[in-house]
Amino acid sequence: MQKALGILLLLALGLLGAAPAASALTPAAVVVEDGAGVLDTNTLLPAVRSVDFYQPTTVAIFTYRGSAGDNLNEEVLRFARAKHPEWISPDGQKWADGLFIFALDPVGRHVGTYFGEDRKVPLDQQQKIQDATKQLFREAQWTEGTIAGIRAGAELINQPWYRSAAFIATVVIGASCLVAGAAAWLLVRLRTRTASRAALARGDRGYANVSMDLDVTELNARTIPAASSYGSMVLEKYRTFLSRYNAATALSAQVHALTGRELSRRRNLKLTRQYADSTAELDSLDDVIADSNALLNLASGWPEAWDRQVAPLRRELDGLEQFLADGDAQGGSATAAALRSFRDGTYSRCEQWAAELQSGSLTPEAALDRLRDAREEFSTLLRRHSETVTAAYARNDREAELLRKGMAGAAAPSDRKTGRSFEPSIIGTVYPANTFFSVHAFTAGWTAGQHSVARARGTTGYGSSGGSFSGAGSSSGF
């Protein structure tokens, strides 16, 4: 192994030694056309003029105030034809040799990169240049983002083969594969064993809790009023409780029989996680059975049981303001105002329901109905607000559909795939997980939708006015 590694290293060094040294050339010229009026040239020009390119390159910077529906590629070409024909090749079909154009639309939120034929880079590298700017542009740091984009372009335009990521990766992988392969194998096994033991410990904690409370859980189940719609559903869950507990007992014996070597295998990590998940759900269910007995019978400890039923909705309401403060959340909209109004009113209503339970003027069944109705109303208000943010963000029907698809995917979770845990409440037990829309689901769905839209917004065409122009370049949204 050491001999083979030495040969690979010598080969890599020989290739690097034979490679020509890369030149470091500042831009041949820098042209700034800041139509949007967002750039600080006192900062921009010295920074750009000090950037090193591999070949003499003219840097043109163009900004304009467009709209979300504009094609930035088309706008750059239109401007070049009208104001800078020297940016276009003599035949009018490409960008001029030696040219790198960096374009920004801070209103429509697009960034674009365009290249002369002797300076062009592949589309994936164009995306890397654009991506280098986006976080800064999202923070409205227009000058800093432009500098970052030009620096990223300088690193990739005419990059020598021996400095390319592909070559470096090939050398590194080739030189280290013999050692790294074995090390990676050992590391994976070590991590798998560690994860298996962690899952085993988590499963043991849940199993111990369930086992210790088994008699109490049975007693609680016997005294839950079957005439209650909530009680009957919880009792239906309890009907399978013992069979699931017996299955967990068998699984416990199976995973505890595994040796350290066997715990290092992926299939057994899946088994230990199954054990941990099953005991965690049983542990939550026995708490729900206890709360159902206490609350539905107004027995000792019912106020604490009621608080646990309210807790999921209260967490949603407590996190609402932070959610609405996000830049794209349309916190000043009418639907956001409706959410805030609901939040403020629900805080007081929850206190009123607790007081009515205490006085006997409200039955536990009716209190749970009101809580269910409140969660359904909150879900409806969130869905209406999702239409508000969709309408504000989407530029066309296609983008709106992508955003809605992201929301729909988050609103219908698959427990094992999303990591969604069993909700330890009576309502969470009675109703399916996708009954209520949550702030967490909204945020996850919105993020997924935005990613889909960002991919769809990337474009390489020059629009209807571009004619047969086919210069290298593309744009994307931020």
- Between CA 215 and CA 42 the distance in angstroms is 77
Closest of 290, 244, 252, 292 to residue 271, by C-alpha: 252
397 phi and psi angles, rounded to 5 deg:
-65, -35
**What integer pLDDT is reported at residue 162 of this predicted model?**
63
- Chain centroid to CA 410: how far? 11
pLDDT digits (tens, 9 = 90+) for 275-293: 999 999 999 999 999 999 9
Exposure of 181 in the CB half-sphere (CA atoms within 13 A): 7
3-state secondary structure of 59: strand
Report whether pLDDT(305) > 90: yes
In the block, residue with structure tokens 């505890």: 256
Supply the pTM of this predicted model.
0.60
pLDDT digits (tens, 9 = 90+) for 164-207: 554 444 444 554 555 556 566 677 888 899 999 999 999 999 99
- Between CA 127 and CA 458 the distance in angstroms is 9
Q: How confident is the model at residue 144 (pLDDT cuts 50, 70, 90)?
A: very high
Length reported for the chain: 478
Q: Contact, 306 vs 354, CB < 8 A?
A: yes
Residues 6 or more apart whose CB falls under 8 angstroms from that of 90 comprise none
- Between CA 315 and CA 317 the distance in angstroms is 5
Share of the chain above pLDDT 90, in %: 68
Q: Tell me the average pLDDT of the chain.
A: 87
Q: How confident is the model at residue 464 (pLDDT cuts 50, 70, 90)?
A: confident
Q: What is the amino acid identity at position 174?
A: G
Mean pLDDT of the 386-409 span: 90
Closest of 244, 175, 133 to residue 13, by C-alpha: 175
3-state secondary structure of 66: coil
Angle at 46 between CA 43 and CA 49, to 5 degrees: 135
Mean pLDDT of the 431-446 span: 87
**What integer pLDDT is reported at residue 466 of this predicted model?**
83
Report whether pLDDT(7) > 70: no
Angle at 189 between CA 184 and CA 195, to 5 degrees: 125
User: 138 is written with which tokens?
Assistant: 């999202």
- Between CA 112 and CA 311 the distance in angstroms is 48
**What integer pLDDT is reported at residue 75 of this predicted model?**
95
Q: Contact, 473 vs 75, CB < 8 A?
A: no
Strand-strand pairing, 99-105 and 29-34: unpaired
- Chain centroid to CA 447: how far? 5
Q: Where in the sequence of the chain do the CATH 3.10.310 domains occur?
A: 2-166+462-477
Count the neighbouring beta carbons within 10 Å of the beta carbon of residue 250.
9
Report whether pLDDT(9) > 70: no
CATH domain 2-166+462-477 topology: Diaminopimelate Epimerase; Chain A, domain 1 (3.10.310)
